Structure 1
Amino acid sequence: MRWLRLAAWLVVIGLAGVLAVRFAGDRPVEVREPLPVLTMAELENRDRFDPGSIEGPWLLNVWGSWCAPCHAEHSTLMALRSEGIAIYGLNWRDTPEDAEQFLDELGDPFVAVMQDVDNQSVMALGISGAPETLVVSDGQILARWPGPLTVDVLRQTIYPALERADRR
């Protein structure tokens, strides 16, 4: 039974990877749209945040402890945090206990993290999968990346969007 569950997860992860690669090329990465109102709950033992009160450019990372690509990108998020880039987390489809355990075991790259309530924030953001990272500044989404962050994604998408935000 355990091998069947593992096989099912591998199929799901493989399908998610194929879909991410397929749709990442079709979806505009550089955007300019207002950040919608997010419906979030506090995650115990973590700082909370209000997107409307954050000054300057920042990243919003949608993640879940259940998400294999989120595990894969976690070291990249930790490196970004060590560079001084402000990353705020939106935990999705998780129990608070699983989210806490994930951050306790792997490290917490977030300035603050909140939990999505009934998929409302994810739907408002137009996100269909995790992870997804948005570059936000002055209430505007300037760029988004559906899928795990990599060195190439940082170089080609995230850093340029942060630099554009700093120049505004």
Structure 2
Amino acid sequence: MSRILMFLPPVLFLGLAALFVVGMNRDDPDNLPSAFTGKIAPAVTVASLADHPLFTDEDLRAPGVKLVNFWASWCAPCRAEHPMLEKLSDEGIAIYGVNYKDRAEAAEGFLAEMGNPYRAIGTDERTMSIDWGITGVPETFVINGEGRIILRFAGPITAAELARSIRPAIVEASK
């Protein structure tokens, strides 16, 4: 029995090391799959933010490709991705914003400083982010004309990510 116990620590170590190696060699370690991909997006349940047009469920279900972007003024990655959102908006992509865990004054200041790429905005009253499975901000969803989620992208949209995942999802959503 003591002989078996002598080999137990090295065997456990090797097993744990193998798990780490497998985990570190996944294709995309930052990919957080969404249970909603391919399904109809959950309802839009937001309150208005100042004088901005209100993001509604009708906007989400309207024909055409659209992005739903969860953001906050206190979020540094949201600032980093903002030029990419403005670029997409300038190209005619409909982007709807959901302000997340933020003060209205701070959100207004962010938009005044950075620009407003959103067709309509709402502020989350703690239910929409839960319903959509948000883990943090920024998170962006590409939605097709049927209101179906094509892609969930967690993190800031960079130029590389725009080319690698967002644009292909927009193309798929437009089919």
> In the alignment, what sits opposite 2:162?
154
> In the alignment, what sits opposite 2:140?
133
Distance 2:97 2:70 in 1: 6
- Rg (Cα) greater in structure: 2
Q: Aligned with 2:131: secondary structure?
A: helix
Tell whether the 8 Å contact from 1:29 to 1:143 is kept in structure 2 after alignment.
no
Distance 1:112 1:49 in 2: 5
User: Which residue identity lines up with residue 55 of structure 2 in the other structure?
Assistant: F
Q: Aligned with 2:106: secondary structure?
A: helix
Aligned residue-pair number:
145
Bigger mean CA offset, 71-80 vs 51-60: 51-60
CA-to-aligned-CA distance 1:58-86 (integer Å, 9 cap, x gap): 00000000111101111111111111111
TM-score (norm 2): 0.77
> In the alignment, what sits opposite 1:106?
114
Q: 2:129 aligns with which of 122, 125, 135?
A: 122
How big is the shift at 1:103?
A: 0.2
Specify which structure has the bigger relative contact order, considering alpha-carbon pairs within 8 angstroms and separated by 6 or more residues.
1
Distance 2:129 2:32 in 1: 20
Distance 2:119 2:151 in 1: 20
> In the alignment, what sits opposite 1:27?
33
User: Which residue identity lines up with residue 122 of structure 1 in the other structure?
Assistant: S
How big is the shift at 1:127?
A: 0.7
> In the alignment, what sits opposite 1:67?
75
CA-to-aligned-CA distance 1:24-78 (integer Å, 9 cap, x gap): 2353699212211132001112111213343211000000001111011111111
User: Which residue identity lines up with residue 43 of structure 1 in the other structure?
Assistant: L
| 2:44 corresponds to 1:38 | yes
Over the residues paired in the alignment, what is the CA RMSD in angstroms?
A: 1.9
Runs (5+) with no aligned partner, structure 1:
1-21
TM-score (norm 1): 0.80
Tell whether the 8 Å contact from 1:57 to 1:136 is kept in structure 2 after alignment.
yes
Distance 2:29 2:130 in 1: 17
Runs (5+) with no aligned partner, structure 2:
1-27
Report which of the two has the higher share of strand.
Answer: 1
